[in-house]
């Protein structure tokens, strides 16, 4: 039997650009736990996101050096692990057997043998749950139970007399993420399948239903919320932007009827099957197109020069349970409409899950904020740090609109945009907004 012979301390790493400190949100291990290389040790909150930190060591947890809720500096030790070869026990057989039954991957190390941290580089698989070595009696019982389960497992799935739920894997995952029971969702697909819109509509209806009741105030008359993490970063960025860059804002109403028709055609096309398509996709493509025609809106101001960027890292302002973040789609200017749709979908799901990494929120060049999802017509957005333009897409709804001298019902939206007036003059800002509006009015321009 091999014994533990070494002790290692794991220091808080810099998982993002310029990270100086982070808050301990949740420990995934406890003293006495046996851990493997790349097993998640702790979840931390930086100024931009939640990040899971995997272990560079295998061994046994000796001590947690910081508490949940504590903010620590980069480089500070946070956990002590006794390393060395770990003796094999019946628990190892249990874990392997259960992994086979449950189809769970085993933790693996990086091929180079070094530690790979979430947020940069490549990662190996890891277990995110705590592993406790059971007693010999528990081990024998669980091994027997796993063996019995494997023996009883059918070789084929019997046909069900109930009507099957037809749904593609990405839609099934979305339903799981949103907590939607697919069995009670009414499908509207042409072949009787459950579509993405069906799932989202049901989730929204359930959300509205749950929010009908107004929650009671707590017993305390005053609640104090510490200003830290994402909220602290948001406050600093907004104050810095509002009182540094002289903002100027423009607004225009747009007949987006053809955009809505175009979105409907994309949803029904085989090419976009299983991919989320919304007016935001057309808006994103419109902004990229307009940037090419008005490149100074894609700039950065410094005291010495204006840096005009000939690429687009398109930021999408996202409201998450942890606050506002602005992840961006890197090199969006080179993406097809389908690739952009897939990138926007992944960005949204990652942000909703609180898994956006610091690198995904850095180096943005221009931002879209979709306030229409909250039913708002327009607003005056504040510039994202390091950018000179931000565009707001308002809600799209039916309104009376004059077409060829006649009043007709049309799908109308309002585009709002703010600019740094040190860089963007009024004529450039106006042409940029007009270009975005022209694409929403006639998406066929995207084919040019």
End-to-end Cα, the chain, rounded Å: 71
How does pLDDT run across 122-142, given as a tens digit for each residue?
A: 334 344 444 455 555 555 565
**Does 251 or 209 have the greater pLDDT score?**
251
How does pLDDT run across 308-344, given as a tens digit for each residue?
A: 999 999 999 988 777 788 999 999 999 999 999 999 9
How does pLDDT run across 343-385, given as a tens digit for each residue?
A: 999 998 888 877 888 888 889 999 999 999 888 999 999 998 8
How does pLDDT run across 267-311, given as a tens digit for each residue?
A: 989 999 889 899 999 999 999 999 999 999 999 999 889 999 999
Q: How confident is the model at residue 415 (pLDDT cuts 50, 70, 90)?
A: very high
pLDDT of amino acid 47:
66
pLDDT of amino acid 406:
92
pLDDT of amino acid 111:
38
Compute the mean pLDDT over every residue in the chain, rounded to the nearest whole number.
79
Q: Which of 106, 210, 310, 421 is catalytic?
A: 421
Question: Model pTM?
Answer: 0.58
pLDDT of amino acid 399:
92
Let me know if domain 169-210 sits in CATH 4.10.320.10.
yes
SS3 of the chain? CCCCCEEEEEECCCCCCCCCEEEEEEECCCCCCEECCCCEEEEEECCCCEEEEECCCCEEEEEECCCCCCEEECCCEEEEEEECCCCCCHHHHHHHHHHHHHCCCCCCCCCCCCCCCCCCCCCCCCCCCCCCCCCHHHHHHHHHHHHHHHHHCCCCCCCCCCCCCCCCHHHHHHHHHHCCCHHHCCCCCCCCCCCHHHHHHHHHHHHHHHCCCCCCCCCCCCCCCCCCHHHHHHHHHHHHHHCCCCEEEEEEEEECHHHHHHHHHHHCCCCCCCCCCCHHHHHHHHHHHHHHHCHHHHEEECCCCEEECCCCCEEEEEEECCEEECCEECCHHHCCHHHHHHHHHHHHHHHHCCCCCHHHHCCCCEEEECHHHHCCCCCCCCCCCCCCEEEEECCCEEEEEEECCEEEEEEEEEEEEEEECCCCCHHHHHHHHHHHHHHHHCHHHHHC
- Which CATH number applies to 229-447? 3.30.559.10
- Which CATH number applies to 6-152? 2.40.50.100
What are the residue ranges spanned by the domains of the chain?
6-152, 169-210, 229-447
**Residue 106 annotated among the catalytic residues of the structure:** no
């Amino acid at each position: 039997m091999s014994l533990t012979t070494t002790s290692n301390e794991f220091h808080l790493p810099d998982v993002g650009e310029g990270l100086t400190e982070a808050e301990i949100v949740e420990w995934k291990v406890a003293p006495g736990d046996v851990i493997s290389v790349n097993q998640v040790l702790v979840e931390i909150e930086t100024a931009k996101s939640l990040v899971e930190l995997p272990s560079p060591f295998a061994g046994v947890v000796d001590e947690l050096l910081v508490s949940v809720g504590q903010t620590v500096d980069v480089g500070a030790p946070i956990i002590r692990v006794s390393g060395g070869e770990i003796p094999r026990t019946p628990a190892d057989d249990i874990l392997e057997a259960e992994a086979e039954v449950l189809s769970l991957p085993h933790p693996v190390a990086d091929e180079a043998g070094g530690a790979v941290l979430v947020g940069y580089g490549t990662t190996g698989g890891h277990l995110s749950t705590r592993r406790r070595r059971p007693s010999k009696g528990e081990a024998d019982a669980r091994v027997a139970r796993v063996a019995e389960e494997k023996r009883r497992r059918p070789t084929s799935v019997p046909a069900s007399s109930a009507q099957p739920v037809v749904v593609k894997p990405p839609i099934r995952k979305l339903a799981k993420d949103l907590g939607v029971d697919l069995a009670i969702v009414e499908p509207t697909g042409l072949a009787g399948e459950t579509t993405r819109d069906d799932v989202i509509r049901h989730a929204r209806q359930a959300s509205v239903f749950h929010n009908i009741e107004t929650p009671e105030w707590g017993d305390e008359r005053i609640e104090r919320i510490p200003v830290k993490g994402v909220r602290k970063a948001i406050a600093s960025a907004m104050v810095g932007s509002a009182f540094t860059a002289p903002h100027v804002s423009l607004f225009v109403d747009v007949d987006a009827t053809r955009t809505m028709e175009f979105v409907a055609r994309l949803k029904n096309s085989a090419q976009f099957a299983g991919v989320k398509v919304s007016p935001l996709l057309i808006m994103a493509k419109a902004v990229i197109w307009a940037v090419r025609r008005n490149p100074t809106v894609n700039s950065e101001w410094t005291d010495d020069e204006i840096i005009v960027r000939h690429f687009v890292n398109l930021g999408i302002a996202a409201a998450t349970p942890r606050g506002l973040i602005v992840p961006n789609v890197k090199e969006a200017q080179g993406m097809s409409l389908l690739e952009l749709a897939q990138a926007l979908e992944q960005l949204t799901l990652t942000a909703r899950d609180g898994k956006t990494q610091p690198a995904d929120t850095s180096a943005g060049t221009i931002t879209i904020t979709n306030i229409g999802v909250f039913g708002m017509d327009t607003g005056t957005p504040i510039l994202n740090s390091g950018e000179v333009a931000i565009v707001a897409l308002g809600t799209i709804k039916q309104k009376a609109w004059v077409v060829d001298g006649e009043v007709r019902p049309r799908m109308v939206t309002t585009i709002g945009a703010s600019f740094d007036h040190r860089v963007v003059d009024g004529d450039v800002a106006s042409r940029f907004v007009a270009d975005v509006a022209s694409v929403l009015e006639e998406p066929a321009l995207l084919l040019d």
